[in-house]
C-alpha cells in the first residue's frame, strides 16, 4: 500500500505564503513547489514542498525572477 503525500489546496498554500493563487501556480511552473492537478484542473500542493519554501528567508521566497537567488541569504536558497 502506498501512502498518499499530505496536500493542501492552492488557496491554502497562497494564504500560508501570503501571496495569490496565481503566484502559487507560477511557483509550481518554476518547480519551486510540487503539486498535483486533478482532472477538473484543481491543484493540490505538496505540504513538504510548501514547508521547505516557508522555511526560507522571506526575501528568498519572492516570486521575482532573480537569476539564481536573491543573495539575501548567501545564495543557498536556489
Domains identified in the chain, total number: 1
Residue 48 domain-assigned (yes or no): yes
Q: Which three cell numbers stand for residue 70?
A: 536573491
pLDDT: which is higher, 8 or 71: 8
Cα-to-chain-centroid distance, residue 52: 8
Residues in the chain: 78
Instruction: Report the chain's mean pLDDT, rounded to a whole number.
Output: 82
What is the domain extent for residue 28? 7-58
Residue 36 domain-assigned (yes or no): yes
Residue 4 CA to residue 27 CA, distance in Å, equals: 22
pLDDT tens-digit map of 35-70: 999 999 999 999 999 999 999 877 776 655 544 555
Backbone angles phi, psi at 67, to 5 degrees: 70, 40
Residue 17 domain-assigned (yes or no): yes
- CA distances, 19 to each of 50, 55, 58, 61 (Å): 13, 16, 12, 10
> Which domain CATH number covers 49?
1.10.10
Residue 68 domain-assigned (yes or no): no
Amino acid at each position: 500500500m502506498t501512502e498518499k503525500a499530505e496536500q493542501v489546496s492552492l488557496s491554502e498554500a497562497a494564504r500560508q505564503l501570503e501571496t495569490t493563487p496565481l503566484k502559487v501556480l507560477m511557483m509550481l511552473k518554476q518547480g519551486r513547489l510540487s503539486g498535483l492537478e486533478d482532472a477538473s484542473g484543481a491543484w493540490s500542493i505538496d505540504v513538504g514542498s510548501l514547508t521547505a519554501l516557508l522555511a526560507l528567508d522571506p526575501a528568498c521566497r519572492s516570486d521575482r525572477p532573480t537569476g539564481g537567488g536573491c543573495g539575501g541569504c548567501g545564495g543557498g536558497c536556489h
